[in-house]
Chains A and B, each alone.
Chain A
Amino acid sequence: MAQINLKINGQSHQTDIDPNTPLLWYLREHAGLPGTKYGCGIAQCGACTVHMNGSPIRSCVMPISSLEGAEITTIEGLSENGDHPVQQAWDELDVPQCGYCQAGQMMTAAALLKENSKPSEEEIEATMTPHICRCGTYHRIKKAVKLAGEKMN
């Protein structure tokens, strides 16, 4: 099979696995990056969200063949020391319950705040609503997005 070149968290990866393999499974089972989570496999819950060239994408439906040359960032690469403002805000407000969806939530929040560090409540809701948190931590997520934005200003 043809070789595919990927750039993940600043590192180069070469692989010859099935090019249709979704990025999610490449990350979890080939690249040793299990922080990105499988939730639904059909881009409905957002648990698998990573950045492609800075924009959030659903890695569960993104074949690796379409990612040649793209810069992929996962939760493991969001910050060097776990101190991205979003991670700090999530910790300070103690957002997680089970925590399973939070990597995806944080990746979307980080992408939003990079574009707009002072989002309105409506903007936060519009951006975060595609994400499901089955535990119902939405109240704290909303607050944490705001707080992270404040930390960036």
Chain B
Amino acid sequence: MNNTHSRRDFLKSASALSGGLVIGFSWLGNKAFAAEVVDTAAIPHEFNAYLAISPDNTITIYSPNPEIGQGIKTAFPVIVAEELDVDFNKVNVVQANLSDKFDRQLTGGSGAIRHSWDRLRNAGATARELMKAAAAKKWNVAASTLTTKDGKVIGANGQSISYGELVEDAKKLTAPTDVKLRDQKDYKLIGGWHKGVDNANLLVGKPLYGIDYQKEGMFNAQIQRPPAFGLKLKSFDATEALKMPGIVEVVSFDNKVAIVGKTTWEIMQARKKVAIEWKKDEDLESTEDHDRIFKSHLDDPNSGDTMRSDGDVKKAFADAAKVIEADYQCPFLPHSPMEPMNFFAHVKADGTVEMAGPTQTPGRARSSVSKLLDIPEDKISIELTKMGGGFGRRLDDGYAIEAAHLSSIVKKPVKVTWTKEDDITGGYYRPAVRYRFKAALDKDGNMTAYHLKGVGLNTGNCTRQDNFPAGAVENVLVESVNYKSPITTGPWRAPITNFLAYAEQSFLDEVAQAAGKDPVAFRLSLFNKAITNPVGKITYEPDRFIAAIKMAAEKSNWGKKKGVSQGFSVYFSHNSYVAQVAEMKKIKGTPTLTKVYAVTDCGIVINQSGAQNQIYGAITDGLGHAMYGKLTFKAGEPEQKNYDSYRLIRMNEVPEVEAYFVDNGKSPTGLGEPALPPTGGAIANAIAAATGKRLYSQPFNLEDSKVESYL
């Protein structure tokens, strides 16, 4: 803990909190302070990086990680408030900006809770114990005789004092170390139902998002980037555009042309008048080229890096009673969050940079801007705005860098906003991949060998070689090919596994069917094998898999429902286990997807409301993209550019979802991603159960247009 705070720190936090406080200060501390009216009781004291308490009993909890819709801005403070022992409804939650006080200040990999679980609890508990110590001194009693409740320290005789009244005394004490954390059985907040802390502002339309960001003197900008992957800028003529109203400058950098002006509408009109010539720089690939590339690499036994090899796969296939083989393929996908990319940047004459916007990786954006402009990182500030979704798109720092680059050229504060078309055609896609699976069965229907080979376009390793069934099968070979394409790719919600899981879980169903076994029993027998007779490295816990599978089978009454076709899928990703059962029923003669059961083991659930919302959303997202998600290319140019041609799932297409959580008291893991990967498999397996037809490529509606009638 740090008790020595500069005046600037005090004022910074104070101004962020209190609307009534009139304080003039410069973020970068270059101007003289001009404090006019300061209510000292409202000045919060930061007891550590995560929380501040002011004498007027305002409790502020800082949430450092970027909020993208995953609910971290609510879940983090719940954990701190639990240990601090305060009424969560009275806590003031503040989004912390990028600061070296925090580590892993990013949103990605469903890792925030897991990473910060101990830190957050300790932050709350340390301050709570400090309050007790201050009260003990004041009352001249032993701290061990004191308890806390709702922001008050309670004495043995029932006397109480609020944390606010203890701030001045507590400030002078040294923070305790090794504080005792609460027992799970005593949790009052963790595991409860907590509404989003932004609801009040969000539901009345307050400006919270990057696209809403305004700064005095700010200009708007849009950027024309190459329309096809493989093209680069040859020349441009902005004569006509510069005559248009509201247009200030048209400049080019980094193969782009930026139109800077006053308002978005004026810029949109002028943008159409900029004459740009592009020239070919790399191959202009089309979707047919990708199909050919996939097949040639999968058919070539010399292509591919070995990612995992157990036993003797060649011999096992030679000895097999039955061999099952199948290819699964998926297309590129844009993330297409509702709020398009945008960022504000002001590269100032004094050598400092002020930035604000929606980013999952503010630290990386700062370091990239520092390198590009040769400005030290401590001269660059980044304000974190709420994000209108991201799904991995905002792990890219390119759109933040380009705003800073543009500001450095035009020497003005600018906000660059992408149109939806810019966003969908702008790259950083979920890569297209094709997998080839092969499994061997012995005469008793036991799986004796498993061979997976994948080819991905800019995927790096497109497999997850240690994934189940590796560890449960004697002979395993996993190979990966990375084909370099001019089309740019990036992580998309549950990278790789967002498609791989569907392929694996569909293929396992095929194998179970070939072995004449029930899909659930088949999986359970393999997990039991991973316990009794493990093969090679095992990165999952078979026990937790089994528990989730059994609970899903129980909740869905697996295999016992009349007139219902069920599909099973179970997956481990981002340290969480999710088992799903999808159900189809005939309604007016048409097989219809009516329900998805989801059982999740993410350890302790922090916020029931947020956790359930993530499950509903991930299933909807997984279903929608499996059904319709498709980005195709013609000569390097994306053929879908907006929501008219890029189809997203809608309300009338979603099945009912029942979400359950395994209550095992284990440390919490992540929830932003893990429920998405199993969804495609559960649905494809239910469709196969209902219709007899297996689906081998996404989007499903391209392989079989009938599937649209199933929703």
A residues lining the B interface (CB < 8 Å): 17-18, 20-22, 25, 28-30, 33-42, 44-45, 47, 74-76, 78-79, 82, 87, 90-92, 94, 96-103, 106, 124-126, 128-142
Contact = CB atoms under 8 A, between A and B. Distances in A.
Contact of B70 (A97, A100, A103, A137): A97
Interface of B: 68-71, 193, 195-196, 198-200, 202-209, 211-212, 214, 220, 245, 263-266, 269, 336-340, 386-391, 419-420, 609-610, 613-614, 616-621, 624, 642-644, 648-652, 654, 656-657
Nearest to B342: A38
A132 B644 CA distance: 12
Nearest to A33: B205
Given A33-B205, A135-B617, A140-B613, A40 B69 contact: no
Given A41-B419, A75-B205, A82-B200, A135 B389 contact: yes
Contact of A97 (B69, B203, B420): B69
Given A94-B195, A132-B338, A139 B616 contact: yes
B654 A100 contact: no
A107 B263 CA distance: 25
Contacts of B624: 136
Given A94-B196, A98-B386, A135-B621, 11 more contacts: A35-B206, A40-B643, A41-B642, A47-B338, A78-B204, A94-B195, A97-B389, A98-B390, A99-B198, A136-B620, A137-B617
A47 B339 CA distance: 10
Contact of A41 (B68, B337, B420, B652): B420
Contacts of B269: 18
B644 A42 contact: yes
A136 B619 contact: yes
A109 B388 CA distance: 20
Q: Which of B386, B419, B609, B617 has the most CB of A within 10 A?
A: B617
Contacts of B420: 39-42
A42 B30 CA distance: 45
Contacts of B642: 40-42, 44
B338 A34 contact: no
B71 A97 contact: yes
A105 to B, nearest CB: 9
Given A75-B204, A98-B339, A98-B387, A18 B265 contact: yes
B205 A103 contact: yes
Given A136-B624, A138-B651, A91 B200 contact: yes
A90 B610 CA distance: 14
Contacts, number: 181
B649 to A, nearest CB: 7
A100 B616 contact: no
Contacts of A97: 69-71, 389, 613-614, 617
Contacts of A99: 69, 196, 198, 202, 208, 386, 388
26 contacts: A17-B263, A18-B245, A20-B265, A29-B263, A29-B264, A33-B205, A34-B207, A39-B420, A40-B642, A44-B643, A44-B644, A75-B205, A92-B195, A94-B196, A94-B610, A96-B199, A96-B203, A97-B71, A97-B613, A100-B337, A129-B651, A129-B652, A132-B648, A134-B336, A139-B656, A139-B657
A101 B338 contact: yes
Given A25-B263, A37-B338, A101-B338, A87 B204 contact: yes
Contact of B265 (A25, A79, A102, A137): A25
Nearest to B337: A134
A74 B265 contact: no
Q: Which of A37, A134, A138 has the most CB of B within 10 A?
A: A134
Contacts of B656: 139
B69 A87 contact: no
Given A45-B338, A136-B620, A25 B264 contact: yes
B199 A91 contact: yes
Nearest to B390: A98
A18 B70 CA distance: 39
A75 B193 CA distance: 26
B204 A82 contact: yes
B654 A136 contact: yes
Nearest to B387: A98
B651 A131 contact: yes
A72 B609 CA distance: 34
Given A101-B338, A102-B202, A136-B620, A38 B69 contact: no
Contacts of A90: 199, 203
Contact of B388 (A30, A100, A128, A131): A100
Given A25-B263, A134-B338, A135-B389, A129 B650 contact: yes
Nearest to B613: A97
A96 B585 CA distance: 30
A126 B199 CA distance: 26
A127 B654 CA distance: 15
B646 to A, nearest CB: 9
Contacts of B209: 37, 100
A110 to B, nearest CB: 12
B392 to A, nearest CB: 12
B709 to A, nearest CB: 16
A18 B247 CA distance: 14
A-B pairs with lowest CB-CB distance, top 10? A35-B205, A136-B620, A98-B69, A100-B388, A75-B205, A97-B69, A136-B617, A44-B643, A100-B338, A82-B204
B265 A87 contact: no
A131 B610 CA distance: 22
Contact of A18 (B198, B205, B266, B338): B266
A130 B390 CA distance: 21
A138 B71 contact: no
Given A44-B643, A134-B389, A94 B613 contact: yes
Given A90-B203, A135-B617, A138-B651, A42 B265 contact: no
